[in-house]
Amino acid sequence: MKNIILSVLLFVFANNTFSQDLQSYIDDFDNIVKETPTQIYNTDRCYYLINNLNTLNENLKQVLNNSEQIHPEDIKILKWTKVHAAALEDFLRTVGNSGKAALYMTENQLSLVQDLFSVGITEIYSQKFCCSLFEIKFDNYICLLAFKRGDDEIYNIKSKISVKGGLSTSSMDMGLIVNKYRRLWSNGDDLTIKSYQVLSIQCTLTGHNSFGF
């Protein structure tokens, strides 16, 4: 009888500990979500949040690969968290002033991030250039995204953007996978810049396709 009671207590303790571990993942993600809008311009903090999201995604992947003891409703929550954490990581890499190489973000990933907090995105210079341009703002932080629709093509984009009344010009030469956003410019290094002007954008089809991306 004593051994049976001990076994039950150990089982309950193990499950309570397991539940606490699972809740810690949710809490970690919630904290990242709360911090993102206010720190998206901060290179060091943005870099830190990306690394935390990457670690969180790996942990959730391992948990979900061994989910026999997890309640089905908890599995749903963990899967929801993993999908949104992955989207937020790519959002920070694309929109944030992370100091890491700018990545790509899909429309679906942007939609998932908009489940988490308000993201104001506005199309600008409509149909003036060879690709669509979208502006995202978080307080004083401004991010300009390039986007082009197509069928598995990859483009090379060259742009010139004027800031500070034409006293400074920013140039960009980068690849762009169709149907994905990529950062073209941001004022992350100088939040006092309130306006800019896109002088030119050239899009050249590379002949490669985006299969596998």
| pTM (two decimals) | 0.86
How much is the pLDDT for 142? 96
21 within 8 A of 60, measured Cβ to Cβ: no
Angle, vertex CA 63, rays to CA 60 and CA 68, nearest 5: 145
Q: pLDDT digits over 170-186, tens only? A: 888 999 999 999 999 99
Q: What is the CATH number of domain 119-209?
A: 2.60.40
Of 194, 188, 34, 204, give the one whose Cα is nearest residue 96.
188
Domains of the chain, by residue range, sit at 2-104, 119-209
The 3-state DSSP class for residue 29 equals: helix
Q: pLDDT digits over 93-129, tens only? A: 999 998 766 689 999 999 999 999 999 899 999 889 9
